[in-house]
Structure 1
Amino acid sequence: MTTINIIGAGRVGATFLRLLGQLDGVQIGAVASGSLANAQAAVAAGGAGRAVELTDASPADIWLITVPDDCISDIAAQITAPPAIAVHCSGFKSSDALNSLADKGWKTASCHPVRSFADPDAAANAFAGTYCAIEGTAAAEVSDLIRRIGGVPFDLLPEKKAIYHAAAVFSNNFTTVIQQIALDAWREAGVDPDTAKSLCASLLTATAENVALLGPQQALTGPAARGDMQVLTEQQAALAAWEPRYAKLYEDFSAMARSLKATGSL
């Protein structure tokens, strides 16, 4: 029986509690959080584990640390249990954040699931197929555990973790920001809000499908891809007169789009 302690009972920790608690041969041990009440709520909702203060956590085979990035090293330094495996879920910090444990003989790793955890129940139900970036001395053990809950582990360079996470920001968060820019522009052009939302959804879905099928270079369309410089110039001027911030983004993205279409790189 593998015992897993979960330190951090927020959305990520609560999701893993649900997933890991269903595995044969796995027992959720201690569940600790910023407050005992949070840990108790996570245990009640997930149906596994024992809510405790961190200082009262019993030894375990694996310690899953799902706290905010800035707290990882501090939490690791407070763990006084015998050496085991410790893994955190930051997309930004490498397993080096757990060096205080590694120095005591622990095996360590970072495991970043590339998905949204807005709702633990929904995230657990949809976790199958989720890609998880894993590195560290315990990468093999953590990868095996991720496969057992339906995830897809992949390797990355720990010293490039910040750039890896920036890639996720570009792919996800900035795409969302760009959708708001499009909605603002359609509103300025007199398009009603419901139609504008439908346009965003339709174009975003088609674009995602084309990029997945063809890759960015072949999927790219629009005036920059066609080399229609008059359209680019006049659109940028119109944007500059309305919202200069958007005009600057349009200029930069258009230049990168032209390069991507012509050379395959930005």
Structure 2
Amino acid sequence: MKIGFVGAGKVGCSLGHYFVSKGFELAGFYSRKLEAATFAAERTGSQAFSTLEELVAASDWLFLTVSDGQILPVFQQVQPFLRSEMVVFHCSGVESSCLLAIDPDRMYGLYSFHPILAFPNRQTALNVIEQALFTLEGDKVTFAEVYQQLERLGNLIQPLEAEQKIRYHAACVMCSNLVNGLVYTSQELFQQAGFTKETAENAWRNLFIANAQNIIATDDIAALTGPIERGDLLTVEKHLTQLTGEQASIYRNLSQILVKMAQIKHPETDYTQLKEQLD
């Protein structure tokens, strides 16, 4: 079985290198920029293709590692060259394999394969990818066979249904991208309290890292600390007097979730007044 990649950016190049390290054979890469395909091919000991038709002809599995908006247009270019029993994957978190189901009489397989990982560059370290969880969604008929092949990677692979892809991707955003927004808001507040940008960065980093380590060492509920967990209504009221509309809205919404968590951690504690204050 040979694997081809359409797209030689951060995801394609990094995944290709990882697959090779796990014993998979690569046909090679196609990219709009031949130099990008050449870089990826040299890194993986495979071939840089100058046409999509040549790449498809040399591949049994085909990964579309392009931006979400380009997945369907690229697939429409690839589709005429596909052979029966080939398998095509895209790597979007939010889109399901249904995006590619444009031929009702197709004999090839369709899957979405998504690593829960931010790829920093085209040479993402192998040990970083090794820790990632992958999700797989797609055709039921050949699912077990494709899943079994991907198990050779050694990563945890979570099967998904097509209708769960959007909810799944929202979960990814919650614990990654939205955290950036919280850090940004925290820095705003530090600076409004008189911190320089540099000291604000130092402050949030120390808190952030310590909290993340506690969550990893225990879990989200066990690691919960702060005024909500303590049932400190007075402190919460004071906070709200100093927050702008947007800041207050973020604080209230997330604190309501923390109340639920605190009740699980301390079922003997009455959080009624806090809940009323946060409504």
Q: How many residues align?
A: 260
1:173-224 CA-partner distances (Å, limit 9, x unpaired) = 1112211211221122123434332322222222223223433223221112
The correspondence of residues 65-76 of structure 1 with structure 2, limited to 5 A, is 65-76=64-75
Q: Percent identity?
A: 26
Tell me if structure 1 keeps the 8 A contact 2:10–2:123.
Answer: no
Residues 32 and 52 in structure 1, CA contact (< 8 A), matched pair in contact too: yes
Deviates more, 1:34-43 or 1:56-65: 34-43
**Displacement of 1:125 after TM fit?**
4.3
- CA shift at 1:128, angstroms? 1.0
Q: Which whole-Å CA distance do the structure 1 matches of 2:154 and 2:47 have between them?
A: 21
Give the 3-state SS of the residue equivalent to 2:88 in structure 1: strand
1:89 equivalent in alignment to 2:88: no
| Aligned mates of 2:212, 2:103 — CA distance in 1 | 41
Equivalent-residue separation in structure 2 for 1:149 and 1:102 (angstroms): 31
Cα–Cα, structure 1 residues 149 and 121, in superposed 2: closer, same or farther, change >3 Å? farther
The Cα offsets for residues 44-97 of structure 1, whole Å up to 9 and x where unpaired, read as 444422222213322421111111112222222322221211111111111112
Q: Which residue of 1 aligns with 2:262?
A: 261
Answer with 114-123 or 45-54: which moved more: 45-54
How far does residue 120 in structure 1 lie from its aligned partner after superposition? 2.3
Is the 1:127–1:150 Cα contact (8 Å) retained in structure 2? no
- Indicate conservation of the 8 Å contact 2:3/2:27, yes or no: yes
Contact preservation (8 Å) 1:89, 1:111: yes
Structure 2: how far apart are the matches of 1:182 and 1:164?
A: 27
Amino acid at match of 2:61: I
TM-score (structure 1 length as normaliser): 0.87
1:116-127 matches, within 5 Å, as: 116-127=118-129
Match of 2:2 in 1: 3
Q: Report the Cα distance in structure 2 between the residues aligned to 1:14 and 1:255, rounded to whole angstroms.
A: 42
- SS state at 2:259 partner: helix
In structure 1, the residue matched to 2:173 is 169
CA deviation map 1:217-242 (0-9, x unaligned): 232211122222221122111112xx
Partner of 2:190: 186
Deviation of the 1:165 alpha carbon: 0.3
| Counterpart AA for 1:99 | A
Taking structure 1 as reference, are residues 102 and 60 closer, same or farther at Cα in structure 2, changes over 3 Å only? farther
Distance 2:119 2:103 in 1: 27
SS at match of 2:130: coil
Q: Normalised by the size of structure 2, how large is the TM-score? A: 0.83
**What is the rounded CA distance, in whole Å, between the counterparts of 1:214 and 1:22 in structure 2?**
32
Q: How does 1:1-266 map to 2 (within 5 A)?
A: 2-24=1-23, 26-57=24-55, 58-79=57-78, 80-83=81-84, 84-100=86-102, 103-137=105-139, 138-240=142-244, 244-263=245-264
Residue deviations 1:108-156, cap 9 Å, x none? Answer: 2111100111112234342112100112125434434444334221122
1: distance between equivalents of 2:177 and 2:128?
A: 20
The residue matched to 2:208 in structure 1 has which SS?
helix
- Runs of 5+ in structure 1 lacking a partner? none
**C-alpha separation in 2, matches of 1:30 and 1:218:** 47
Give the Cα–Cα distance (whole angstroms) in 2 for the partners of residues 51 and 102 of structure 1.
29
Matched letter for residue 175 of structure 1: V
Contact 1:73 1:97 in 2 (8 A): yes
1:134/1:155 contact within 8 Å kept: yes
- Root mean square deviation, CA, Å: 2.3
Task: Name whichever of 200-209 and 36-45 sits farther off.
Answer: 36-45
Work out the CA distance in 2 between the residues paired with 1:72 and 1:228. Answer: 50
